[in-house]
């Protein structure tokens, strides 16, 4: 009996893997399964799914390539990694799009069966890259994956098309072998997903095991790899993406407030999964409405808020543009409403599946008239949970609409999330007026300036609100010039006062004065923090501060900025926060702009910071 080859196992601190292929090759599912398995092992991780906007892009074309990048580690990490250590290319187009990102000497695994003459030409290669020596700078592993899957599933009775769909599980099994991962979690997934079709279920299980065994018995790999569990804070963890965290944060806020949650939305990439997730939780008092358009969805949410619900609406940039008139109505009526903007590349339809941070101006300034609203931004996928709870806390306490900004990178990316205990969650309270004595709808709390919230139907509290200006002292319609100015100033002051109810900005790095501060917001957090830690490890005077509260700013922001010789603001836009900081604090801050539909890489930030330190 022939013995199995015994290969040495090398322990790594971390590894970055990118799965890539046609949209129909199941790369998102493959990456998600590897991610879940890494999470079960206890690795810290970060992911970056990347997929085309076209629903049915022509197979084999570069604009139809789908990718999923995963960074998993035995140490704390902040990003999905700059360059993959391992690239899996299921066809020539996937190789064409991703090969430039692979580290020199990195492992390149190719499905050689897909490298037909037609596919090679369609991808834009002049010759077969497997044969022409152009991939010599990588450790090339060429495998006839399609053929191997056909052999493994030959006796299942599945059609050719069904067999080929199992290529992703075969490839997943191969990577599980390479990194010493168990198949059990993916077996369980397959059993659940395909429980209604035993034949397909059996075929995918066979493909997963066949890929693992191929790695074990072949002589393609000189070694295997091990990445130990990370030393995370004790607690119960689960893998979570930004859209899930957003939905769960809204549910938690409604539970804390003791009110039903209402979500009005219209499908749009990359925000749609928030609607999908919330619709699964009717048993928790969640009510979701997929309206006929964006305007109807926000109008329904405003109506739900008027009726006493914890109300929420969401979209991406183009949909937010359509909602803005109604958001102005929420400002005028002073109703609590959370508005989620999962930002994507623009303008117009722009880059529907690619990330950007270009809607900060839209959130802060995007309505007619003087219409101030608080604006918050999340920094990591799991941070979306607590930011949503904070948004509802502010909305309910101050009777105001509140914007929450995430983006496609956060929405689709995932990381381990420690499930918080009840006592770690913020208080979210809904306070209603019940006493009819002296009531009018714009009677205000002297501290917060929040108007009274009276649920329709409460005896003695019948009232009307609307978009026409109201009298400060009675709540009746008023066209008085001085009253309009007073109401305008009051609404603005209410938002400004929120600065006294939020934490001061914290700085990672210099306790006193410093040479350079990297000021970030939103999803730039991971790359900035990793770049800062790397440079500080080299003894360089670099610090990092990250904004959660975009309007109003933390009350100590100006003092923090003044402590540093230079301030750099990296943004995935053309300098929106940079413009606001310059105008507000009259400081010569410097911007670093990226509008490529992709997040910042750590090495891009390190290069820019080093150039500023040298001047």
Q: Which domains does the chain have, with CATH numbers?
A: 9-223 (3.40.920.10), 238-424 (3.40.50.970), 514-614 (3.40.50.920)
**What is the rounded CA–CA span in Å between residue 558 and residue 517?**
13
Name the helix (H) or strand (E) containing 482: helix 481-497
Residue labelled with tokens 């022409």: 132
Tokens standing for residue 482: 């001085």
With tokens 């303008």, the residue in question is 347
Give φ, ψ of 398 to 5 degrees. Answer: -105, 0
**CA angle, 249 as apex, 312 and 499 as ends, to 5°?**
80
d(CA 442, CA 474): 7
Which sign does the torsion angle of CA 174, 177, 180, 185 carry?
Answer: positive
3-state SS class at 6: coil
C-alpha span between 243 and 18 (Å, rounded):
22
The conformational region for residue 534 under phi > 0 = left, psi -120 to 50 = alpha, else beta, is alpha
Beta bridge partners of 226: 11
Residue with tokens 């998993």: 72
More confident residue, 23 or 345: 345
Phi, psi dihedrals of residue 524, rounded to the nearest 5°: -70, -5
Where helices occur in 258-382 by DSSP H, the ranges are 272-278, 294-306, 317-333, 360-365
- What confidence score (pLDDT) does residue 53 get? 79
| Beta strand pairing call for 65-73 and 44-50 | antiparallel
Query: Which tens digit of pLDDT belongs to each residue from 354-382?
Result: 999 999 999 999 999 999 999 999 999 99
Q: In 10 A of CB 604, how many CB atoms?
A: 16
In whole angstroms, what is the distance from residue 34 CA to residue 72 CA? 10
State pLDDT tens for residues 317-337: 999 999 999 999 999 999 999
Asked if pLDDT for residue 413 goes beyond 60, the answer is yes
DSSP strand pairing (564-571 vs 514-521): parallel
Instruction: Work out the average pLDDT over 174-193.
Output: 97
Query: For 132-154, how does the pLDDT look when each residue is reduced to its tens digit (9 = 90+)?
Result: 999 999 999 999 999 999 999 99
Mean pLDDT of 33-57: 90
- The pLDDT of residue 504: 98
At CB < 8 A and 24+ separation, what contacts does 429-433 make?
429/256, 429/257, 429/393, 429/396, 429/397, 430/257, 430/258, 430/259, 430/308, 430/310, 430/396, 431/396, 432/308, 432/458, 433/458, 433/461
What digits encode the pLDDT tens for the residues 458-470? 999 999 999 999 9
CA distance 109 to 120: 16
Residue 531 tokens, joined:
């770049």
Q: Which residues of 299-328 are buried (b: 16+ CB within 10 A; e: fewer)?
A: bbbbebbbebbbbbbbbbbbbbbbbbebbb
pLDDT of 549 above 60: yes
More confident call, 352 vs 615: 352
Q: Is the pLDDT of residue 58 over 90?
A: no
Name the pLDDT band for 1 (thresholds 50, 70, 90).
very low
Query: Alpha carbon of 280 to those of 230, 244, 275, 470: distances in Å?
Result: 32, 11, 9, 40
Phi and psi at residue 105, in whole multiples of 5°? 80, 0
pLDDT in tens, 552-593: 999 999 999 999 999 999 999 999 999 999 999 999 999 999
Confidence of residue 60 (pLDDT cuts 50, 70, 90): confident
CB atoms within 10 A of CB 78: 20
**Residue 3 pLDDT more than 70?**
no
Q: Which two tokens stand for residue 103?
A: 């580290």
Euclidean distance between CA atoms 176 and 369, whole angstroms = 57
What is the edge-to-edge ordering of all strands in the sheet holding 44-50? 44-50, 65-73, 14-22, 86-89, 107-111, 139-143
Cα gap 587→567, rounded to integer Å: 9
Cβ neighbours of residue 178 closer than 8 Å, sequence gap 6 or more: 86, 215, 221, 224, 225
Under the banding of pLDDT at 50, 70 and 90, the label for residue 196 is very high
When the pLDDT of each residue in the chain is averaged and rounded to a whole number, the result is 96
State yes or no: pLDDT of 269 exceeds 80: yes
CA atoms of 440 and 420, how far apart (whole Å):
40
Where does residue 531 rank: exposed (0-12), middle (13-18), buried (19+ CB within 10 A)?
A: buried
What is the chain's alpha carbon radius of gyration, rounded to the nearest angstrom? 27
Mean pLDDT within 378-393: 98
In angstroms, the CA 212 to CA 41 distance is: 18
Q: Distance between CA atoms of 562 and 544, rounded to whole angstroms?
A: 14
Over range 527-542, report the average pLDDT. 97
Q: How far apart (Å, rounded) are the C-alpha atoms in residues 171 and 37?
A: 15
Q: Residue 533, exposed/middle/buried by CB under 10 A (0-12, 13-18, 19+)? A: middle
Instruction: Please report, rounded to a whole number, the percentage of residues in the chain having pLDDT higher than 70.
Output: 99
- The beta-strand segments (E) located in 119-200 are 139-143
Contact call for residues 130 and 115 (beta carbons, < 8 A):
yes
Residue 553 contacts residue 584 (beta carbons within 8 Å): yes
User: What is the percent of the chain with per-residue pLDDT over 90, rounded to a whole number?
Assistant: 95
pLDDT digits (tens, 9 = 90+) for 595-609: 999 999 999 999 999
Q: pLDDT (tens digit, 9 = 90+) per residue, 222-266? A: 999 999 999 988 999 999 999 999 999 999 999 999 999 999 999
């Amino acid at each position: 009996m022939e013995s199995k080859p015994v290969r040495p196992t090398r322990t790594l601190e971390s590894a970055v893997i990118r799965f890539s292929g046609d949209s129909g090759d199941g790369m998102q599912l493959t990456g998600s399964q590897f991610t879940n398995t890494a999470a079960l092992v206890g690795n810290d991780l970060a992911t970056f799914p990347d997929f085309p906007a076209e629903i049915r892009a022509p197979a084999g074309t570069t604009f139809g390539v789908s990718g999923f990048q995963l960074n998993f580690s035995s140490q704390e990490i902040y990003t999905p990694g700059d360059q993959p250590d391992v690239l899996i290319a299921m066809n020539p187009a996937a190789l064409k799009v991703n090969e430039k990102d692979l580290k020199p000497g990195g492992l390149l695994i190719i499905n050689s069966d897909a490298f037909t003459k037609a596919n090679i030409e369609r991808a834009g290669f002049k010759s077969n890259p497997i044969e022409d020596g152009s991939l010599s700078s990588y450790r090339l592993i060429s495998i006839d994956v399609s053929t191997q899957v056909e052999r493994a599933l030959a006796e299942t009775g599945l059609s050719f098309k069904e067999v080929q769909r199992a290529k992703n599980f075969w490839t997943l099994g191969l990577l599980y072998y390479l990194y010493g991962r168990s198949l059990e979690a993916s077996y369980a997934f397959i059993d659940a997903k395909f429980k209604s079709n035993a034949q397909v279920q059996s075929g995918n299980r066979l493909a997963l095991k066949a890929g693992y065994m191929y790695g074990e018995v072949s002589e393609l790999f000189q070694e295997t790899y091990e990445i130990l569990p990370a030393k995370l804070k004790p607690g119960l963890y689960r893998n979570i993406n930004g859209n899930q965290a957003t939905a769960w944060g809204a549910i938690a806020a409604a539970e804390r407030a003791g009110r039903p949650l209402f979500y009005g939305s219209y499908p749009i990439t990359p925000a749609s999964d928030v609607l999908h997730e919330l619709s699964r939780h009717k048993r928790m008092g969640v009510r979701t409405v997929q309206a006929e358009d964006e305007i109807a969805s926000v109008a329904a949410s405003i109506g739900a808020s008027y009726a006493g619900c914890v109300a929420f609406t969401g979209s991406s940039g183009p949909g937010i543009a359509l909602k803005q008139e109604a958001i102005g109505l929420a400002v005028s009526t002073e109703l609590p409403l959370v508005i989620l903007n999962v930002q994507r590349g623009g303008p117009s339809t722009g880059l529907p599946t690619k990330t950007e941070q270009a809607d900060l101006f839209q959130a802060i300034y995007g309505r007619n008239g003087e219409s101030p609203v608080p604006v918050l931004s999340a920094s990591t996928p799991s941070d979306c949970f607590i930011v949503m709870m904070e948004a509802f806390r502010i909305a309910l306490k101050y009777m105001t609409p509140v914007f929450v900004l995430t983006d496609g990178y956060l929405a689709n990316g995932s990381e381990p999330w420690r499930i918080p205990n009840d006592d770690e969650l913020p208080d979210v309270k809904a306070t209603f007026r019940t006493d009819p004595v002296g009531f009018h709808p714009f009677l205000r709390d002297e501290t917060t300036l929040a108007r009274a919230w009276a649920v329709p139907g409460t005896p003695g509290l019948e009232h009307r609100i609307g978009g026409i200006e109201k009298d400060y002292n009675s709540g009746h319609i008023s066209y008085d010039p001085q009253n309009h100015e007073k109401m305008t100033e009051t609404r603005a002051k209410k938002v400004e006062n929120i600065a006294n109810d939020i934490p001061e900005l914290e700085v990672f790095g210099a306790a006193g004065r410093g040479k350079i501060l990297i000021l970030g917001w939103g999803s730039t957090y991971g790359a900035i923090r990793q770049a800062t830690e790397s440079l500080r490890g080299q003894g360089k005077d670099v610090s990092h501060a990250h904004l959660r509260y975009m309007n109003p700013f933390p009350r100590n922001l100006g003092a923090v900025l003044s402590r540093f010789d230079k301030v750099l603001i990296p943004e995935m836009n053309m300098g929106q926060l940079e413009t606001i900081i310059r105008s507000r604090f009259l400081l010569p801050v410097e911007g670093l702009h990226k509008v490529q539909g992709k997040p910042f890489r750590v090495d891009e930030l390190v290069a820019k910071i080093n150039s500023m330190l040298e001047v």
